[in-house]
Amino acid sequence: MSAMGLIVNPERVKIDVTPEQTFLEILKSEKKDRWKEWVAVKTKNGTTDLTRTVGEMGSGEYEIEWVHRDTTEAQSVYRHTMSHILAQAVTHIYGVKNVVLGIGPTIENGFYYDILIDNGAVQEEDLPKIEKEMERIIKENYPIRHFTLPKEEAIALMREKGQPYKVELIEHLPEGEPISFYEQGDFVDLCRGPHLSSTGIIRPFKLLSLAGAYWRGDEKNQMLQRIYGTAFPTNEALKDYLEFLEESKRRDHRRLGPQLGLFHIDTEIAAGMPFFLEKGVIALTELQTVWRKFHKEAGYIEVITPLVMHEKLWRQSGHWDHYRENMYFIEKDEQTYAVKPMNCPGHIIIYKSQARSYRELPWKMAEFGKVHRYERSGVLHGLFRVRSFTQDDAHIFMTEDDIVREATDLIHLIDRMYKVFGFEYRVDLSTRPENSMGSDELWELATESLKKALVETQVDYRINEGDGAFYGPKIDFHIKDCLGRTWQCATVQLDFQMPERFDMTYIGQDNQEHRPVMIHRTVFGSLERFMGILIEHYAGAFPSWLAPVQVSVLPIADRHNDYCQRVKETLANRGIRAQVDSRSKKINYKIRDAQLNKVPYMMVVGDKEVEEEKIALRTRNEKDLGAITLDSFIDVFEKEVKELADHSLFE
């Protein structure tokens, strides 16, 4: 066949090839002994396997770029191949006729495979055995071959192999398209790829855990076992990641929250709906107090809207058409009501309760609004993914001339509030999704207005195409915690659609009716989720202003209890949350218990402290600050709380 031309980036070197050549053959020819440093190739059709031929990608001259093993793209290829090696190992150990395979994709920092074992299950203690078989498969260095079949032949192949889930997946693929498979040794799997050229190229890996997962995420389907694993370019990178996982487990809010008496979750009584306990309520209240201070300064008013409202409101708002599958409903007196999934329609009702003048705008309305949204049981996760939560929701009603200024002020407000917790953040501008409403002109105006606000505040941002709300574009803030994980919390969503749907108006300077513009916004997002983030960020050791118990007063003996009670009363009169541990335990036990409960300060009281009317001050970080007067402590502590300091001013 005739020669073809390839331009290899980034060097832009032009080479002549034939359609029959594989990219692997070309790579070995070009890179010589170093060819193993590259694991895939980027073509005009996307990232693909090195074992594919040039002719498969099309005719004519086109550009390619080799994917180096140290890149993020290469990690995805490694981990995808690892998921196949995992599935192959499971079939070897448990018997190919006993294992039904689900899906095995890559995920952030790893991979998994969903499996079903006939009359059996994988146990945690089986993971080393599976790892050993995976190592054997890697050592065998099986070539990985890609091939395609017509749809009917693909279905027949998977039925022959006893893989009903693969058959189901194929049946839902478009007619007329070839079905893609990969083969390595005795293992064949339905897959789009890309993959490595052989199993022997795999780097360090580790199987991590087991979990349950419903087939296709639907709790009506069979529960499968999900085996999680990870792989990295070097042993050092794998070691660092495993240490990161251990630290994440230590900080897990699902463990720390109940342990510290913050919240309780009962999956049988109220799955996805947390019960907040006394200490958790104190912490939430402190968060709300700080929030209210910032928002009062910014000119917001606070309202409360009903939890349950008639279906006609949700039909008018568009939620009935765009969000109904996530809503809860109540039937009474032959009428249908919905438990609110969002607060915005209720705020619109308040706005429309009387005529509005341009002199009132911008009008800023805020609410700690409890909302309910249905989530499948398989995705519920502590406080991070729930069905009932409180939004620190606010809406700004304004003129078009106000948009950039108000969006700019919001960006500054969010920045100030995140500085309280020391959070760095990334900003995304999310644009029009496919499932949207409104004209092209209004979407263009809304998007450009948010861009201008970002430019004016000199905030670096990236475009997140197609991820806006159905009613308008939005700015999303992704905070970074102490482990480097990111969490999307604050959002600023511009909306021209709701005012139109609800026929909202204001009287302008010309004494005529005009349509306001609306901003939906949160800072914390979900109050519950933000609390979960803070628990993990601080490992439960909240700053003093946020800690449910700020001081633990520890008498060494019973004769010191009266003095300790007076200390507690003095602290309480100054608004300091204190407790006395009067149990008949040794002082070291009491100190350790206070540290485990993340109490910021401990006041140890013995004979000397009673005699001198002092307290022996200690921090939860095991720093002994010696004997000081109670007034001295209060002076510094009140400054620490007033400044919302995220560290002790005594250290």
Q: Is 38:7 a contact under the CB 8 Å cutoff? A: no
Question: Residue 524 and residue 418: Cα distance in Å, rounded?
Answer: 9
Q: Which helix (H) or strand (E) holds 131?
A: helix 127-140
Residue 394 is classified by DSSP as: E
Which strands sit side by side in the sheet containing 38-43, from one edge to the other?
13-17, 4-9, 62-68, 38-43, 46-48
The rounded radius of gyration (Å) of the Cα atoms in the chain is 30
Angle at 338 between CA 336 and CA 342, to 5 degrees: 155
Q: Report residue 20 as tokens.
A: 């029959």
Question: Residue 198 and residue 183: Cα distance in Å, rounded?
Answer: 10
Q: Report residue 556 as tokens.
A: 């060494």
Q: Report residue 435 as tokens.
A: 């499932």
Question: Residue 66 and residue 10: Cα distance in Å, rounded?
Answer: 9
The owner of tokens 């919302």 is: 644
Question: Residue 291 and residue 297: Cα distance in Å, rounded?
Answer: 10
Question: Residue 27 and residue 201: Cα distance in Å, rounded?
Answer: 15
Q: CA end-to-end span of the chain, whole Å?
A: 77
Residue 235 CB burial class (10 angstroms; 0-12, 13-18, ≥19): exposed
Q: Is 528:383 a contact under the CB 8 Å cutoff? A: yes
Please state whether beta strands 110-117 and 99-101 pair in parallel, antiparallel, or not at all (unpaired): antiparallel
Question: Residue 532 and residue 539: Cα distance in Å, rounded?
Answer: 10
Question: Residue 339 and residue 531: Cα distance in Å, rounded?
Answer: 23
Active site residues: 344, 373, 391, 393, 395, 474, 520
Question: In sequence order, what DSSP letters do the residues of 72-119 get, joined into one string?
Answer: HHHHHHHHHHHHHHHHHHHHHHH-GGGEEE----EETTEEEEEEEETT
Q: Is 263:274 a contact under the CB 8 Å cutoff? A: yes
- One-letter amino acid at 580 equals V
Question: Residue 291 and residue 287: Cα distance in Å, rounded?
Answer: 6
Which of 281, 245, 246 minimizes the C-alpha distance to 260? 281
Q: Report residue 91 as tokens.
A: 């079939």
Question: Residue 460 and residue 543: Cα distance in Å, rounded?
Answer: 29
Q: Report residue 354 as tokens.
A: 């009387």
Work out the widest C-alpha separation in the chain, in whole angstroms: 101
Please state whether beta strands 4-9 and 13-17 pair in parallel, antiparallel, or not at all (unpaired): antiparallel
Question: Residue 601 and residue 619: Cα distance in Å, rounded?
Answer: 5
Which of 466, 469, 462 minimizes the C-alpha distance to 429? 462
